[in-house]
Amino acid sequence: MKQKLQDLLVTLQTQGDSCDWPKYLNTLGLCASELVEIRKVLETERFSLAQSLVLTPVRLNPEPDPALAKATDERLPRFDHDTAPQYLRTKLAPQVESQRMAQNSKASAILPEQATKLVNLSNRLLDSGLKEVNALKQELEMDLSEKTFKSSVNPDDLFTLVAAITTGANLSGKPAPQDTCK
């Protein structure tokens, strides 16, 4: 499976647009079906214990670990304090971390009474805004329900007008032309 995927990537990189796409897509489909079969096997009960296993190193080690490097195809030579947060996603991005620290310092500078007042003020503002929106919604719904679309068309007048336009019927001074296409 690994070799097939590597071959597909090499083919795509070397041949580009000129590769044999039906063959490429066929091989890709085979790989996808093999992955589905592997997933089905792993979802069976005999592999239920494997789902709870943690597949990361147990200890942080600043020294290079050859077993870890081999298992990750040399992508991760050591599992130390710098790489662990990146791979375990426990470390925020530097910009986010600085923004978080700034917000925490602002929050710690506010007294508890002042924070309570700010929360209450925010709640009151939100409640009044919500009441306004609901009132506007009800007003709009009432306006729409009050409006009844009455037809201002008289069917007799409409037929007379259409007949006058198409055949010239009922026009003064002109007789209606006879339909000769019958």
Domain range summary for the chain, segments of one domain joined by +: 1-53, 54-95, 106-142
- pLDDT score, position 179: 56
Least confident among 79-88, 139-148, 173-182: 173-182
150: left (phi over 0), alpha (psi -120 to 50) or beta: beta
* Spatial separation of the C-alpha atoms in residues 60 and 78, rounded to whole Å: 8
The C-alpha atoms of residue 112 and residue 6 are separated, in whole angstroms, by 59
Residue 178: CB atoms within 10 A of its CB come to 8
Q: Which pLDDT value is given to residue 102?
A: 94
pLDDT at position 79 is 81
pLDDT of residue 182: 47
Instruction: Output DSSP code: residue 64.
Output: -
Q: Is the pLDDT of residue 99 over 90?
A: yes
